[in-house]
């Protein structure tokens, strides 16, 4: 596998991870369905996996970047498998809406398995680790898309919960602790 093919496959993988995160945020905002704590950890796993793939795009493929993607996907996969096991027993209910017959945490488990297997297969091709040319201009914005969901996650969670930035109350000189 050449470095250019590796770069193309990493770009497609990053687009897939970003699509999953965008769809999760759209589901949260459109249906006003706040994510549970396990869902937030799954999103962190997607962000870590996407960050490892983005490092491959920015600095060239390295085994450590694939390792970061695999670790993020494994942690997220454990979280989503835990949530699947919570609701696998008939009659226990489920959390959230079903998409094509499967709930989002089940789709997340499938996506984490795909990231893990895809990164593992990419590690098998040694020619991609040879030096390559610079990143094409059309792909230069793509690695930053791995960081954007992390930045918007905190803001959207605060807005969904109704928190707003509040200015601290004025402190009079008599209540100060220090001079």
Highest mean pLDDT among 29-43, 53-67, 148-162, 165-179: 53-67
170 is a domain residue: no
Question: Which residues fall within 8 angstroms of residue 123, CB to CB, at 6 or more apart?
Answer: 63, 66
Q: What is the mean pLDDT of residues 71-94?
A: 87
Length of the chain counted residue by residue: 179
> For the chain, what percentages of helix, strand and coil (3-state, to nearest 5) are there?
65, 0, 30
Does an H or E element contain 102, and which? strand 102-103
176 is a domain residue: no
173 is a domain residue: no
Is 81 a residue whose pLDDT tops 90?
yes
How far apart (Å, rounded) are the C-alpha atoms in residues 59 and 42? 26
Q: What is the mean pLDDT of residues 93-117?
A: 85
Range of the domain at 40: 3-161
The values of phi and psi at residue 140, to 5°, are -70, -30
92 is a domain residue: yes
Highest mean pLDDT among 6-15, 22-31, 51-60, 66-75: 66-75
Tell me the pLDDT tens digit for each residue of 156-172: 555 545 554 444 455 55
Is 123 a residue whose pLDDT tops 70?
yes
91 is a domain residue: yes
Please state the domain count of the chain: 1
pLDDT band at 179 (very low <50, low <70, confident <90, very high): very low
90 is a domain residue: yes
177 is a domain residue: no
The values of phi and psi at residue 116, to 5°, are -65, -50
Query: Comparing 65 with 147, which gets the higher pLDDT?
Result: 65
179 is a domain residue: no
Q: What's the pTM value of the predicted model, to 2 decimals?
A: 0.69
- Determine how many CB atoms are found less than 10 A away from the CB of residue 114: 15
């Amino acid at each position: 596998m050449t470095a250019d093919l590796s770069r193309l496959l990493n770009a497609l993988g990053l687009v897939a991870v970003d699509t999953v995160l965008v769809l999760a945020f759209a589901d949260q905002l459109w249906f006003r369905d706040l994510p549970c704590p396990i869902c937030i950890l799954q999103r962190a796993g997607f962000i870590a996996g996407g960050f490892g793939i983005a490092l491959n795009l920015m600095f060239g493929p390295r085994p450590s970047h694939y390792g970061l993607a695999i670790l993020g996907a494994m942690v997220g996969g454990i979280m989503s498998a835990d949530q699947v096991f919570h609701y696998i027993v008939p009659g226990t209910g489920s959390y959230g809406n079903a998409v094509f017959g499967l709930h989002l945490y089940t789709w997340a488990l499938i996506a984490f398995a795909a990231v893990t297997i895809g990164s593992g297969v990419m590690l098998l091709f040694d020619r991609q680790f040879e030096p390559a040319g610079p990143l094409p201009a059309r792909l230069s914005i793509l690695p930053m898309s791995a960081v954007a969901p992390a930045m918007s996650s905190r803001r959207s969670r605060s807005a969904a919960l109704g928190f707003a930035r509040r200015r601290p109350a004025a402190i009079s000189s008599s209540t100060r602790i220090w001079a």
